[in-house]
Amino acid sequence: MASTLLNGRNGPALRAALVYLYVGFALFLLLGLLGLTMRLAHAEALPMDPALYDQFFTLHGAGMIAAVLLGAMGGIVAVLSPHVHLDLRLLWIGFVLYLLGVCYIPIAVLLGGFSAGWTVLYPLPVAYQAGWTSWSAFAFLLGYLFVALGFGVWCLAVLLGTAGTYGGLRRAMAWPLVFSGGRATGPQPYLQDIVATVIAIYGIGSVLVGAVYLIPLFGQNLSLSGAVNALLMKNLVFLFGHNMVNLTIYLGAGLVYSILPLYAGRPWKTSWLSAFVINLLFVSMLLPFFHHMYQDFVNTVPLHLIGEIGSYGSGLPVLLVTILGGLGLVYRAGMRWAVPSILILIGFWGWVFGGIGALVDATIPINQIYHNTLWVPAHFHTYYLLGAVAFVWAFLYHLTADLSGHREPGLSRTAAWLYGIGGAGFVLMFFIAGAAGMPRRYAIPVAGTGETTLAAIGSAFTALLGLALAWLAYDLLRQLRPAWRRTLGASTEPTVRPTGGAAT
């Protein structure tokens, strides 16, 4: 199979990409085990102190989001590397800062007992009477700060790179095409480059929002400043959190744009519509975050309406362009079915179903009931675990096989299907429990919701998922050494000219 990644191998950047991806994958596996123990605790198959449950969901939530984002960042580095010059120093500085941040989190949670949840909702992180120490809150916040800084440095590396390749950020975002209504002629940037550029700009904005949120928390933690407006803080933290989760999904979509064509044997061209919709993310990612604030009636009605309209209206375009575009690519294409292409199709499924679950919960009258039930983790585990995460590990598998030159064992396709079945069963039990009124973040199952039984079934499906992941991890580890070796002999500079998707 002809591979764009291999043709333009840029060894040093690919090594950075592999490190980002494999560290992200290892963290994901560890934190997945924590998830399984939480399900087993609800199934009453594993005794767990409620305080420990709180610590686990704090560690699992914060860590998972960081792990998957790290993997997606690595994937984008690999995707860009054949034709974009990425500053390696920035890539490594970003990685070290990020990892430093990731290390603070378990220290804060497991040693310091910090368990305010990954959302660190103000004023919880400074409420020490809730059972944690001020140093543990400090360490957790420091963890977030470093993760955000690391991500910001990565964004900078991407922006310098794509701007350099295309002669400015405007061109890298295909603005000449977008603003000419599609009349621009000549080669256009690859779709994945447009996504990477848009998300990197958006990412720097998100990092700044995160910093604005963290400053008063640090101030209060160190007794340098007093209380601040809790409503403003809640708006800020959900703007930040909603963004970080969403941008991970779009980076995952960028990875799909780059590898699905290799399995379908057709190019995924940059069209006016797709470029426009990706640029629309600047607005469409921003508006829906108010759906996190429906229960805060003081947040004024117009903002709730923006949340409602934003969630319905603007979440959809990229999803449609990606999924309809992807399915169009696959349709009657003589698709090559392998682990990555199966995972990508599972990812389309999860993105759509998780998205529907999200829209249900983003509907105000329904939110009144489902808010803070297991429906919430149900929908985001669906579009994450069976969406973005499937895209990122599909890419990891593709890259490793591509570099190592190994032929994929045909049997491993079973592992990809098991991933889908195990994941779907796991999230379905979350959905049912949520609809039955089981609260989220509760250490103890609530009687009358059926949660104990549902969690037991959910645990069995999670075990299946675990089996699939162990299988894929085994394949990956076997190929890692040859893959790494191949990068050593590769060129040290981007070698491919981005002729990209011609405007269509």
Interacting residue ranges for Cu ion, rule: CB under 5 A: 242
- Structure token pair of residue 388: 């973005």
Among 8, 61, 216, 340, binds ligand HEM (CB under 6 A): 61
* Largest pairwise CA distance in the chain: 65
The b-or-e profile of 473-502 (16+ CB within 10 A means b, else e) is eebbeebeeebbebbeebeeebeeebebbe
**Cα separation of 146 and 105, whole Å?**
10
Q: Which residues pair with 439 in a beta bridge?
A: 373
**Cα separation of 51 and 441, whole Å?**
11
CB of 34 to ligand HEM, least distance (A): 8
Nearer to Cu ion, 246 or 462 (CB): 246
**Cα separation of 200 and 73, whole Å?**
10
249 touching ligand HEM, by CB under 6 A: no
Nearer to ligand HEM, 261 or 354 (CB): 354
438 touching ligand HEM, by CB under 6 A: no
35 touching ligand HEM, by CB under 6 A: yes
Find which of ligand HEM, Cu ion, none residue 256 binds, CB within 5 to 8 Å per kind: none
The b-or-e profile of 181-209 (16+ CB within 10 A means b, else e) is eeebeeebbbbbbbbbbbbbbbbbbbbeb
Rg (alpha carbons) of the chain, rounded to whole number: 22
Nearer to Cu ion, 68 or 90 (CB): 68
293 touching ligand HEM, by CB under 6 A: no
Listed ranges 58-66, 161-169, 253-261, 390-398: which one lies at the site for ligand HEM (CB under 6 A): 58-66
CB of 470 to Cu ion, least distance (A): 32
Nearer to ligand HEM, 55 or 162 (CB): 55
36 touching ligand HEM, by CB under 6 A: yes
CB of 7 to Cu ion, least distance (A): 39
Find which of ligand HEM, Cu ion, none residue 501 binds, CB within 5 to 8 Å per kind: none
117 touching ligand HEM, by CB under 6 A: yes
Residue 64's closest CA among 306, 344, 440, 392? 392
237 touching ligand HEM, by CB under 6 A: no
429 touching ligand HEM, by CB under 6 A: no
Find which of ligand HEM, Cu ion, none residue 233 binds, CB within 5 to 8 Å per kind: none
Residue 379's closest CA among 310, 428, 314? 428
CB of 67 to ligand HEM, least distance (A): 7
The residue sitting closest to ligand HEM, measured at its beta carbon, is 35
| Subset of 261-290 contacting ligand HEM (CB under 6 A) | none
DSSP string, 120-183: T-TTGGG-GGGT--HHHHHHHHHHHHHHHHHHHHHHHHHHHHHHHHHTSHHHHTTHHHHHTTT-
462 Cα distance to chain centroid: 20
190 touching ligand HEM, by CB under 6 A: no
# residues near ligand HEM by CB under 6 A? 23
Listed ranges 36-44, 106-114, 320-328, 341-349: which one lies at the site for ligand HEM (CB under 6 A): 36-44
| Subset of 342-401 contacting ligand HEM (CB under 6 A) | 377, 381, 384-385, 389
| Subset of 399-428 contacting ligand HEM (CB under 6 A) | 426
Nearer to ligand HEM, 12 or 150 (CB): 150
441 touching ligand HEM, by CB under 6 A: yes
CB of 138 to Cu ion, least distance (A): 27
Angle in degrees, CA 315, 320, 322, rounded to 5: 105
**Cα separation of 321 and 278, whole Å?**
9
118 touching ligand HEM, by CB under 6 A: yes
Nearer to ligand HEM, 64 or 97 (CB): 64
Residues written for the chain: 504
Q: Which residues pair with 502 in a beta bridge?
A: 187
Find which of Cu ion, ligand HEM, none residue 171 binds, CB within 5 to 8 Å per kind: none
Find which of ligand HEM, Cu ion, none residue 242 binds, CB within 5 to 8 Å per kind: Cu ion
Residue 340 DSSP SS3: helix
Q: Are 287 and 307 in contact (CB under 8 A)?
A: yes
Angle in degrees, CA 480, 484, 486, rounded to 5: 120
32 touching ligand HEM, by CB under 6 A: yes
Nearer to ligand HEM, 292 or 381 (CB): 381
Angle in degrees, CA 90, 92, 98, rounded to 5: 100
64 touching ligand HEM, by CB under 6 A: yes
**Cα separation of 165 and 359, whole Å?**
38
Listed ranges 55-63, 132-140, 309-317, 483-491: which one lies at the site for ligand HEM (CB under 6 A): 55-63
Binding site for ligand HEM (CB under 6 A): 32, 35-36, 38-39, 57, 60-61, 64-65, 68, 117-119, 377, 381, 384-385, 389, 426, 440-441, 462
